[in-house]
């Protein structure tokens, strides 16, 4: 595939990849200009536009980034409650192959958790519910938009819920067909570990 690229275009892709690995995000056009020792951002734009036309770059949130190919190995780091929170294990149990083209940023920003319970069995994540035993793909981040489905850490216990900020507290809302599942109101000692991106259904 690289045979269709000029030596300069190969250098641009290599530089973008190196910067992304170092910074944990896609580089800005200015960062790319400096790293490539080019005189102007328009010069960078010319190279990235050519690479997009050849299918080697995607445009992610307005920033050019190489299209990944094949599969990446995302770690499964344990269980998370979709009911009453309980201790989340952080030991890697296994790796799950995942389509590299479906991730935003770098693979190290992601991990899987195994869902336990039924409090999110009425959620709609990419057209799928979160049922007991499913594998939930999480993107690591410490903030989330209202209404996002998050991994919330309450003390040493973790749970997946829909996050709804309210006056003076946060409501962690279940999305369930089971009416026994109730919201959790959090006033303190609460942090976000990541945001739900996708679900891999368990094999029946």
Q: pLDDT by residue (tens digit) across 35-83? A: 999 889 888 888 888 877 776 776 544 455 555 557 788 888 888 877 6
Mean pLDDT score of the chain, rounded to an integer? 83
Tally of residues, the chain: 204
The two structure tokens encoding residue 107: 């693979």
Please report the domains of the chain, with CATH numbers, ordered by start residue.
Answer: 2-66 (1.10.10.10), 71-200 (2.10.109.10)
* Residues annotated catalytic, as ranges: 119, 161
pTM above 0.75, yes or no: no
Listed in order, strand segments (DSSP E) in the chain are 57-60, 63-66, 71-81, 86-87, 94-99, 110-116, 135-140, 149-154, 157-166, 169-173, 184-186, 190-200
């Amino acid at each position: 595939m690289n045979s269709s690229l000029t030596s300069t275009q190969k250098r641009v892709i290599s530089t973008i990849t190196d910067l992304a690995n170092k910074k944990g995000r896609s580089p800005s056009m200015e960062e790319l200009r400096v790293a490539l020792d080019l005189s102007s951002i328009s010069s960078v734009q010319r190279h990235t536009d050519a690479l997009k036309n050849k299918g080697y770059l995607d445009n992610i949130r307005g920033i050019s980034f190489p299209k990944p190919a094949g599969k990446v190995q995302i770690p499964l780091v344990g269980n998370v409650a979709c009911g009453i929170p309980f201790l989340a294990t952080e030991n890697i149990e296994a790796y799950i192959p995942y389509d590299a083209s479906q991730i935003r940023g770098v693979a190290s920003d992601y991990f899987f958790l195994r869902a336990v319970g039924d409090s999110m069995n009425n959620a709609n994540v990419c057209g799928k519910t979160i049922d007991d035993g499913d594998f939930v793909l999480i993107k690591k981040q410490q903030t989330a938009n209202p209404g996002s489905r998050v991994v919330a850490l309450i003390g040493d216990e973790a749970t997946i819920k829909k996050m709804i900020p309210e006056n003076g507290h946060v409501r962690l809302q279940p999305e369930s067909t089971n009416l026994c599942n109730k919201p959790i109101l959090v006033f303190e000692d609460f942090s976000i570990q990541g945001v739900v991106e996708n679900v891999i259904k368990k094999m029946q």
